[in-house]
């Protein structure tokens, strides 16, 4: 990890047999999207799904690049934000894909963040029992996480991501230039997931991030390196456990606490966005592991100091507004993770880069810990 690759573009191959695909990471990929797609896929027709923030910035460039490669496209622009992951918008997306006669060799292209990727992937997975799917992720979170791995879906009143299918993309084009228009807050939120891969099982990567995070934020080769390492890490986990029967759960490091905090703030992005919840959740997971005598408290301090340095929140007290009491957070945790005989499944750690799936965590210990950590 010491040398920063000088090559401007990286490729990560996801070896999933007949569902294998490439992730290309680098600058200028939207301008080359048509050529990259035409080189790999037969279809010459695409339905692009995007959102109202991303469309004015990158849609024209994508359409032109497809056109130049002989690919005709139609476009659907949806509202931005988590609420778009709904049945209503899924229906609109499916309608559009059928209306423009996307056949099984043609494709749906998701141009946007994780919201657009999850919704479009779901539509691609169910229309005609599955059409081809290309991800052009535009947020850092979607480039390092949601565009890889094939989980698609929408939310409903019972919770997030509860309705969906596994549908792997055929190609992922992560244009690193587009991250320059992302807000600093959204970039940091995506960075929490980058740091997560180090904390799961790559201590050298975490150390590299501690030394190089400023260069990652600035752009260029270090950013590409961090995204490629993250995609490789996600790919490794997905290939080992495509349908999450075991080890894929490691990707949820920090997410049990994080999801509870997101639910406690009613998914109000002005108070907390997903990556911020994950940041606080990862610190809590390390502190809880120390409390259970699994890891040194120094590791928790090291994690917190790095996340703080990049400007992420690390404490529940940093969330604006009043949080519900620890018991309510605990209820959200119990809903997120099935409790069996008072025991919870949690991702805990023995130190930096030594996370593991623990399926015997006493719920009572978690509640006591949350009461200690609660700001009120």
Ligand X SMILES: NC(=O)c1ccc[n+]([C@@H]2O[C@H](COP(=O)([O-])OP(=O)(O)OC[C@H]3O[C@@H](n4cnc5c(N)ncnc54)[C@H](O)[C@@H]3O)[C@@H](O)[C@H]2O)c1
Candidates 89, 202, 255, 306; catalytic one:
255
Q: Single out the residue of 10, 85, 255, 373 in contact with ligand X (rule: CB under 6 A).
A: 85
Give the angle 221-225-229 at the CA atoms, nearest 5°. Answer: 175
113 contributes a contact to ligand X by CB under 6 A: yes
244 is catalytic: yes
Cα–Cα distances in angstroms (integers) from residue 86 to residues 72, 116, 208, 258, 295, in the given order: 28, 11, 39, 22, 41
CB-based contact 278:190 (threshold 8 Å): no
Spell out the residues 6+ positions from residue 171 whose beta carbon is closer than 8 angstroms to its own. 21, 22, 24, 36, 37, 40, 41, 134, 135
Taking the least distance from each CB to ligand X, the nearer of 154 and 330 is 154
Site string for ligand X, 159-198 (x = CB under 6 A): -xx----------------x--xx---x------------
Taking the least distance from each CB to ligand X, the nearer of 151 and 306 is 151
Candidates 85, 196, 223, 234; catalytic one:
234
138 contributes a contact to ligand X by CB under 6 A: yes
193 is catalytic: yes
The least distance separating ligand X from the CB of residue 99, rounded to whole angstroms, comes to 24
Candidates 248, 286, 302, 306; catalytic one:
248
253 contributes a contact to ligand X by CB under 6 A: no
CA–CA distance, 152 with 198 (Å, rounded to integer): 24
167 is catalytic: no
135 contributes a contact to ligand X by CB under 6 A: no
274 is catalytic: yes
The least distance separating ligand X from the CB of residue 298, rounded to whole angstroms, comes to 29
237 contributes a contact to ligand X by CB under 6 A: no
Candidates 274, 286, 302, 337; catalytic one:
274
Per DSSP, which regions of the chain are E strands?
10-14, 21-26, 45-51, 72-78, 107-112, 132-137, 154-156, 159-163, 171-175, 343-349, 355-362
3-state SS class at 220: coil
CB-based contact 78:169 (threshold 8 Å): no
Q: What is the largest CA-CA distance in the chain?
A: 61
42 is catalytic: no
CA–CA distance, 61 with 222 (Å, rounded to integer): 25
Report the b/e string of 292-302 with b at 16+ CB within 10 A: bebbeeebbeb
The least distance separating ligand X from the CB of residue 302, rounded to whole angstroms, comes to 25
- DSSP state letters, 295-359: S-HHHHHHHHHHHHHTT---SGGGSSSPPPPHHHHHHHHHHHS--BTTEEEEEEESSTT-EEEEE
CA–CA distance, 280 with 257 (Å, rounded to integer): 8
Taking the least distance from each CB to ligand X, the nearer of 186 and 336 is 186
Q: Single out the residue of 135, 142, 252, 349 in contact with ligand X (rule: CB under 6 A).
A: 142
Instruction: Give the binding range for ligand X (CB under 6 A) out of 76-84, 295-303, 333-341, 360-368.
Output: 76-84
Instruction: Give the binding range for ligand X (CB under 6 A) out of 106-114, 239-247, 299-307, 341-349.
Output: 106-114
80 contributes a contact to ligand X by CB under 6 A: yes
Burial class of 70 by CB neighbour count within 10 A (0 to 12, 13 to 18, 19+): exposed
Instruction: Give the binding range for ligand X (CB under 6 A) out of 124-132, 133-141, 240-248, 290-298.
Output: 133-141
54 contributes a contact to ligand X by CB under 6 A: yes
Give the angle 332-118-141 at the CA atoms, nearest 5°. Answer: 75
CB-based closest residue to ligand X: 114
CA–CA distance, 313 with 84 (Å, rounded to integer): 26
141 contributes a contact to ligand X by CB under 6 A: yes
> Contacts with ligand X in 300-339 (CB under 6 A)?
none
Taking the least distance from each CB to ligand X, the nearer of 121 and 351 is 121
The least distance separating ligand X from the CB of residue 19, rounded to whole angstroms, comes to 15
Cα–Cα distances in angstroms (integers) from residue 227 to residues 29, 191, 289, 290, in the given order: 14, 9, 28, 29
Positions annotated as catalytic residues are: 129, 151, 193, 234, 244, 248, 252, 255, 259, 274
Residues that bind ligand X (CB under 6 A): 51, 53-54, 57, 80-82, 85, 112-116, 118, 138-139, 141-142, 145-146, 149, 151, 160-161, 178, 181-182, 186, 274
């Amino acid at each position: 990890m010491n040398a920063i690759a000088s090559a401007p573009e990286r490729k990560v191959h996801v070896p999933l047999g007949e569902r294998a695909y490439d992730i290309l990471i680098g600058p200028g990929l939207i301008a080359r999207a048509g050529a990259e797609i035409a080189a790999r896929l037969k279809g010459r027709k695409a339905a692009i799904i995007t959102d109202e923030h991303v469309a004015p910035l990158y849609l024209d460039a994508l359409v032109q690049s497809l056109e130049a490669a002989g690919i005709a496209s139609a476009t659907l622009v949806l509202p931005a934000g988590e609420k778009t992951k709904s049945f209503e918008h899924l229906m609109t997306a499916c309608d559009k894909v059928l209306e423009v006669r996307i056949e099984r060799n043609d494709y749906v292209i998701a141009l946007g963040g994780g919201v657009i990727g999850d919704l479009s992937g779901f539509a691609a997975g169910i229309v005609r029992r599955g059409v081809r799917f290309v991800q052009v992720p535009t947020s850092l979170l979607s480039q390092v996480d949601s565009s890889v791995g094939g989980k698609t879906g929408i939310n409903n009143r019972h919770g997030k991501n509860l309705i969906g299918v596994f549908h792997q993309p055929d190609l992922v084009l992560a244009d690193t230039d587009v991250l320059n228009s992302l807000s600093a807050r959204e970039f940091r939120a995506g960075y929490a997931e980058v740091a997560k891969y180090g904390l799961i099982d790559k201590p050298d990567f975490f150390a590299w991030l501690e030394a190089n995070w400023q260069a990652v934020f600035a752009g260029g080769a270090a950013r590409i390196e961090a995204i490629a390492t993250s995609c490789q890490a996600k790919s490794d986990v997905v290939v080992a456990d495509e349908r999450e029967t075991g080890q894929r759960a490691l990707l949820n490091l920090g997410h049990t606490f994080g999801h509870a905090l997101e639910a406690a703030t009613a998914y109000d992005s002005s108070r907390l966005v997903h990556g911020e919840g994950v940041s606080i959740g990862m610190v809590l997971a390390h502190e809880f592991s120390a409390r259970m005598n699994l890891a040194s408290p120094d590791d928790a301090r090291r994690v917190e100091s790095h996340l703080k340095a990049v400007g992420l929140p690390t404490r529940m007290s940093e969330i604006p507004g009043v949080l519900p009491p620890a018991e309510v957070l605990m209820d959200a945790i119990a809903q997120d993770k099935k409790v069996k005989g008072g025991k919870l499944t949690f991702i805990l750690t023995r130190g930096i880069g030594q996370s593991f799936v623990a399926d015997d965590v006493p719920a009572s210990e978690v509640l006591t810990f949350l009461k200690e950590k609660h700001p009120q």
